[in-house]
Homo-oligomer: A and B are copies of this chain.
Amino acid sequence: MAVAGGGTAEARYRQLAASLREAIAAGAFGADGRLPSEEKIAQQYGVSRGTVRQALAVLRANGLVTSRRGTRRVVLGTARTQSFFELLSFTRWARSLGEEPGGRTIDVTSCPANPLECEQLNLEPGSQVCRVLRLRTLSRVPIMIERTLYPEHIGAMIAGLDPHAISHTELLTEEGVVFADTEHTIDLVHADADDARLLGCNQDAPLMRERRRATDHSGRPLLWSDDRFLPGTVAFTVHNSVATTALSRRRG
């Protein structure tokens, strides 16, 4: 609960969200799973209704509760596995599974970007970029090939690293780099010669590909990555709530 020295106190609505999350996990709210009204919750916790709504919005985004005008909210799911996307880092993802993340840097090169790369990283033509090729392991078993492209100023921080360093993302974070927004695209590709050699599969074997493009707070691209996973090692999950645009009342 207490915040580590130097940080800011956690917002009340986040504390409240955490409390409600616990209550849900503990199975309060009975068999039908109906939450108290927003007003009731506000009174119970001594906050305003607005704050309660902020907290509930968090739970809703996480797929834990419903929300619909006219009726109480209802518990949707009690469990909650953290989505791959929210973790933003292979290392954190592995740890959240209780597995041991590993990484071996195969190659790091700096060279001028080609036109496609310039567009992806929003750079001037001919700008320098840093290319990193890594093999990622889970409890020593190879499961993913990561091809990452960094703009010069980020690449400079990477270049000097120990090739056995486990997490580049965490090191960059410590340097104050913030991955504020990321877009992920998932599809299926066939292993090329490098993929096959490093992952120990046949060439043309099917792989799950996740491409990530991350920017900082001001929208400046920080990274563009092409990650290829062996089948059966990851599944990507997404949750979705409708924008409640209900119809008019039926047979009023």
Contact = CB atoms under 8 A, between A and B. Distances in A.
Given A63-B183, A188-B188, A240-B181, A231 B206 contact: yes
Contacts of A181: 63, 66, 76, 239-242
Given A76-B181, A180-B242, A218 B66 contact: yes
A7 B238 contact: no
Interface string A229-252: 001101111111110101110100
- Copies of this protein in the assembly total 2
Given A217-B66, A218-B74, A242 B184 contact: no
Contacts of A68: 180, 217
A182 B77 CA distance: 12
A139 to B, nearest CB: 20
A44 interface: no
Contacts of A250: 176
A238 to B, nearest CB: 5
Contacts of A172: none
Given A183-B63, A187-B231, A206-B188, A74 B219 contact: yes
A174 to B, nearest CB: 9
A85 B186 CA distance: 13
B187 A234 contact: yes
Contact of A242 (B33, B63, B178, B219): B178
Contacts of A66: 180-181, 215, 217-219
Contacts of A242: 88, 178-181
Interface string A165-203: 000000000001011111111111100000000000000
A138 interface: no
A75 interface: yes
Given A6-B248, A66-B219, 4 more contacts: A85-B238, A187-B236, A206-B231, A238-B238
Interface of A: 6-7, 33, 63, 66, 68, 71, 74-76, 85-86, 88, 176, 178-189, 206-208, 215, 217-219, 231-232, 234-242, 244, 246-248, 250
